[in-house]
Structure 1
Amino acid sequence: LIGDGAELAVKEINAAGGVLGKPVKLLLEDDATDPAKSLEAFKKLVEVEGVEVVVGPMISGAVMSIGPYAKERGVLFVSPSATSPAISEEPWTDFAFRTTPSDTLQGKALAQVITERGFKKVAILVMDNAYGVGIEVVAEEELKDKVDIVASIRYDPAKLDYLTELGMIKDKKPDAVLHVGYHDDA
């Protein structure tokens, strides 16, 4: 689906004369949201295809994996969805742009919702990756003096069964569960 939108945009841009009078060429690579595969795909685009700007990757872990290489090669990239606050701290950020705010904003907003709704006992359940942990760290900091965090659990998003984690949360009897994950593990 993402590729379909990009193809439509390129078609419209080229129909309007391209960019600075030159047509835009779209090359798609699927990294399967895997940081190692993302670096391989990025290197292919740069070394084989000769691209100068990349839109992607989608996830923070993949952005972290390609950042040093992008700086080394002088290639700009724009991630439409990487949110880890750690990205802003890296020495290669002159080559990285993102269109989504960092997890700092998301973590603060989630903490605000929890406190405004009056929850007192909160369990935090996050996927163990840059996205989940990034929001967890900020949310815990925002909540630490306002609620009782009865559990903070990081899980492997590749697992198919989360009964152990859910059992640990159930035993703590929280008023609310703050879950950070992707749609397929929710």
Structure 2
Amino acid sequence: MKKMIGVALAATLLATGMAKAQQGEIKVGEINSYSALPAFTEPYKKGMELALKQINDAGGIKGKKLVIISKDDGGKPGDALTAANELVSRDGVVMIAGGFLSNVGLALADFAKQKKVVYLGAEPLSDALVWSKGNDYTFRLRTSNYMQAAMLAEEAAKLPAKKWATIAPNYEYGQSFVAVFKELLTKKRPDVEFVAEQWPPLGKIDAGPVLQAIDAAKPDAILNATFAGDLVKLVREGNTRGIFKDRAVVSYLTGEPEYLDPLKAETPEGWIVTGYPWYGITTPEHKAFLDAYQAANKDYPRLGSVVGYSTVMSVAAALKAADDTSSEGIIKAFKGLKVDTPFGPVVYRAADHQSTMGAYIGKTGIKDGKGVMTEFAFRAGADYLPSEADAAKLRPKD
């Protein structure tokens, strides 16, 4: 009998201890394409871990430890939804964050709306996430398709090129980016025309036929939105065929180390790109991040590192500002929230839930046998967004 009482008492104490431990924690769910896109997500996770350590070492969230529970969506919207359901119903998270591919992000945004749980999109770039399919529960960190297209169109308009061809992966990200780039460039340069477009499937590009079709249209310039392995195949095939010679190329995301590093000395020179020249940014906030990241990881950061770090810092800032951890409390805190990031302070706009994170624009080059960005400059995100009043009109009417 005494033994049974002792076992019951031990179980009670264990349950009480677990309950107290959980009361001292705030859990946040995080979902990303870890197995599908490791070049981005591995540095992204290291950035998250650095931010999480800094936050908890500084006292956590109002004295409570911030806990992040991560799950892999494999680059599939269905798997992302399964993970989100588990995080909310089983793990008891107060909000979810993450996402890489735009179709995955849109699926998570719809989940957030249906389940009334806050979702912070870290990387998905589709404008629909905060505009045509935006909802009260969804916010986005990264510089969006519209913002980066506006930055690139500004540079493209300076080129003498009149005939353009486009290459982009055939899903939401590629389709929406090409559409907005065309719209913005044509406004700046009514004399340009788009003479060819290619839509290879994501991760399955057959670069030879794609480039053959582009070359046959005889464009003066090419807009490219492929990334990761597709970009490597495109560049190698294009270099072999001489497709890029004497043609201007504007290439989305290509200046990010994740995508330049695999190209090494094969990096084409002179492409106009968005990216992350970590080796040349001298601002105090970036230096602090760079020093801490390199000390923790013995490696240099990628753009994913900045996104992961800034995602967790955004989550922490919102939770600290919120009156409570209800979805309504977190939403109220996020609207107009200012967050310090390695790229400087950003604000989550109240009207459309888009952050004002900016991006670096420059050209590709080669240094010491590696691809780098040259002639780069930072573009403030707020300068490339429609006004909040105009953005609000782009969102669904309740």
- TM-score with structure 1 length normalisation? 0.91
- Which residue of the partner structure matches residue 201 of structure 2? 156
Partner Cα distance (1:147, 1:125) in 2: 17
Structure 1 pair 135–95 and aligned structure 2 pair: CA distance change class (3 A): same
Alignment correspondent of 1:46: 88
Structure 2 regions of 5+ residues with no counterpart? 1-41, 232-398
Is 1:105 paired with 2:150?
Answer: no
Residue 101 of structure 2 corresponds to: 59
Cα distance change, pair 84–100 in 1 and its aligned pair in 2 (3 A)? same
Paired residue for 1:185? Answer: 230
Report runs of 4+ in structure 1 exceeding 6 Å deviation.
none
Pairing of 1:161-176 with structure 2 (within 5 A): 161-176=206-221
Q: 1:123 aligns with which of 165, 179, 189?
A: 165
Within the candidate set 17, 28, 31, 2:70 is matched to: 28
Q: Is the CA contact (8 Å cut-off) linking 1:80 and 1:99 kept in structure 2?
A: yes
Structure 2 Cα separation of the partners of residues 171 and 148 of structure 1: 15
- 2:175 paired residue number: 133
Following TM superposition, by how much is the alpha carbon of 1:124 offset from its aligned partner in structure 2, in angstroms? 0.7
One-letter amino acid matched to 1:172: A
Counterpart of 1:78 in structure 2 is 120
| Contact 2:81 2:107 (C-alpha < 8 Å) held by counterparts | yes
Q: Which has the higher strand share?
A: 2
Percent identical = 30
The offset of 1:172, in angstroms, is 0.9
- Higher RCO (CA-CA < 8 Å; seq separation 6+): 2
The 3 A distance-change label for structure 1 pair 121 and 92 is closer
- The alignment's TM-score, normalised by the length of structure 2, stands at 0.44
AA partner of residue 51 (structure 1): V
Preserved CA contact (<8 Å) 2:100 2:123: yes
CA contact (8 A) 2:102 2:124 kept: yes
Separation of aligned partners in 1, 2:170 and 2:69: 31
User: Quick check: 1:3 aligned with 2:3?
Assistant: no
Distance in 2, Cα, partners of 1:59 & 1:160: 17
Q: Is the 8 A contact 2:163 2:219 kept in 1?
A: yes
Distance 1:115 1:138 in 2: 14
The one-letter code matched in structure 2 to 1:43 is: N
- 1:122 to 1:94, Cα distance in 2 relative to 1, 3 A: same
Q: Larger deviation: 35-44 or 131-140?
A: 35-44
**Is the Cα contact below 8 Å between 1:59 and 1:82 reproduced in 2?**
yes
Task: Report how many aligned residue pairs link the two structures.
Answer: 186
Which range is displaced more, 49-58 or 32-41?
A: 32-41
The alpha-carbon deviation at position 91 of structure 1 amounts to 5.5
Q: 1 CA distance for matches of 2:162 and 2:47?
A: 43
Question: Aligned in 2, Cα 1:42/1:158: closer, same or farther, shift over 3 Å?
Answer: same
Residues 137-172 of structure 1 show CA distances to partners (whole Å, capped at 9, x for unaligned) of 111223343312110221101314222211110101
